[in-house]
Amino acid sequence: MHYLPNSDRYKSMPYRRTGRSGLKLPAISLGLWQNFGDVNVLENSRNILHLAFDSGITHFDLANNYGPPPGSAEENFGRILHEDFRSYRDELIISSKAGYQMWDGPYGDGGSRKYLISSLDQSLRRMRLEYVDIFYHHRPDAETPIEESMMALNQIVRQGKALYVGLSNYKPEEAAQAITILRELGTPCLIHQPKYSMLERWVEGGLLDLLEKEGIGCIPFSPLAQGLLTDKYLNGVPTDSRAAKSNSSLREDQLTDEKLATIRQLNDIARQRGQTLAQMALAWLLKDQRVTSVLIGASKPEQLQDSLKCLDTIDFSNDELSRIETILGQH
């Protein structure tokens, strides 16, 4: 059956300006880090993307190595895009990244011009696109001069392969250097994608202030600390959870008694607010106007639907904020 998006899709989603640029992003963006690889059911991935667009999510975030296996998320996304969203391409913001290991040999990792440009060419082929809207350097590379990586991003924009460029996982000092180089090249940095959640707050140590000063957007990933900030672990570790899997990015040893106590206390505040813990954790990031959008993942449409309800209550009272700070400061 031919997909027809919801005609009211833009009515309920707030859109925020990305720094001082002309680009607006939805308050919630969909990340395809997990659940869109070849190991996943394509129809489920398709249903998640349909619901996302029907709900006003216009931004889909990928990277060369998303899967598993690496590359398969872009391929599956490209197929669904081609079959269902082709006529809506100009309503979408599609991003990709390169910086982590993608293929064998010395040119499949890091920050060289060779790697970044080759990788984006591969990504465009996989997604069947002429350009991406945002292309990120996924992480700084200590072995490559930052100037070379930034010159590659500048070249990519000038070649028409990306409209904007961004940084991910750059610490404040590295980000400041990269931002200056990009500005001098005439391709300003649009956005920074850091890991940021109630449980991981390093960006508050200078990065958010830098982005605000420079007029650059911020789009946190892992806002739910890979599932820790959900009701999944309130009663310990379920056997089917991410933490219980040996190859998981979330290790069971991260779930200390202290951490579980913190999560339960935060959950109490969320319940008093009429929210789930996950909804409160997303709202807590969005309360800061320097945060342009929050990247969430979803393993099924219902999960996405649940996360979107965070937009109903983004405001926090001073009392709620100080109670949250007390809880987070204890552990």
- Residue that is written with structure tokens 């607006």 in the block: 24
Q: What is the pLDDT of residue 250?
A: 66
Examine residue 172 and say whether the peptide bond preceding it is cis (omega within 30 degrees of 0): no
Q: Domains of the chain, with CATH numbers?
A: 15-226+279-311 (3.20.20.100)
Given this model, what pLDDT does residue 257 score? 87
Directed axis angle between helix 301-308 and helix 277-286, to 10°?
50
The encoded tokens of residue 55 equal: 């709900």
> pLDDT grade, residue 236 (50/70/90)?
confident
Q: How far is CA 129 from CA 14, 126, 151, in A?
A: 27, 8, 23
CB 270 within 8 A of CB 279: yes
Q: Which pLDDT tens digit goes with each residue over 241-264?
A: 666 665 566 666 678 889 999 999
Q: Give me the residue label for tokens 């997303």.
A: 282
Instruction: Give the rounded percent of residues in the chain with a pLDDT score beyond 70.
Output: 95
- Residues contacting residue 175 through CB under 8 Å, at least 6 positions apart: 167, 192, 207, 210, 211
Question: How far is 109 from 70, CA to CA, in rounded Å?
Answer: 13
Write the DSSP string, 190-252: EEEE-B-BTTB-GGGTTHHHHHHHHT-EE--B-TTGGGTTSGGGTTS--TTSGGGSTT-SS-G
Phi, psi of 26 (to 5 degrees): -65, 150
Averaged pLDDT, 197-226? 97
pLDDT tens track for 24-75: 999 999 999 999 999 999 999 999 999 999 999 999 999 999 999 999 999 9
Question: pLDDT (tens digit, 9 = 90+) per residue, 300-328?
Answer: 999 999 999 999 999 999 999 999 999 99
Task: Please report, as a single letter, which amino acid is at residue 275.
Answer: Q
Closest C-alpha to 255, from 272, 275, 238: 238
Span 134-155, average pLDDT: 98
Give me the pLDDT at residue 155, please.
98
Q: ω into residue 68 within 30 of 0, thus cis?
A: yes
Closest by Cα among 259, 281, 260 to 269: 281
The pLDDT value given to residue 218: 99
Predicted confidence at residue 255, as pLDDT, reads: 80
pLDDT of residue 245: 66
- Is the pLDDT assigned to residue 127 strictly greater than 70? yes
- Write down the pLDDT at residue 248: 60
* 3-41 per-residue burial string, b: 16 or more CB within 10 A, e: under 16: eebeeebeeeeebbebbebebbbbbbbbbbbbbbbeebe
**Which single residue is written with the structure tokens 């405001």?**
315
Residue 120 has pLDDT above 70, yes or no: yes
Is 270 within 8 Å of 280 (Cβ atoms)?
Answer: yes
- Sign of the torsion formed by the C-alpha atoms of 90, 130, 49 and 30: negative
On whether the pTM is more than 0.85, the answer is yes
Provide the mean pLDDT of the chain.
95
Least confident window among 64-78, 82-96, 230-244 = 230-244
The alpha carbon dihedral of 229, 234, 236, 238 has a sign of: negative
Checking if the pLDDT of 331 tops 60, the result is: no
Q: How confident is the model at residue 330 (pLDDT cuts 50, 70, 90)?
A: confident
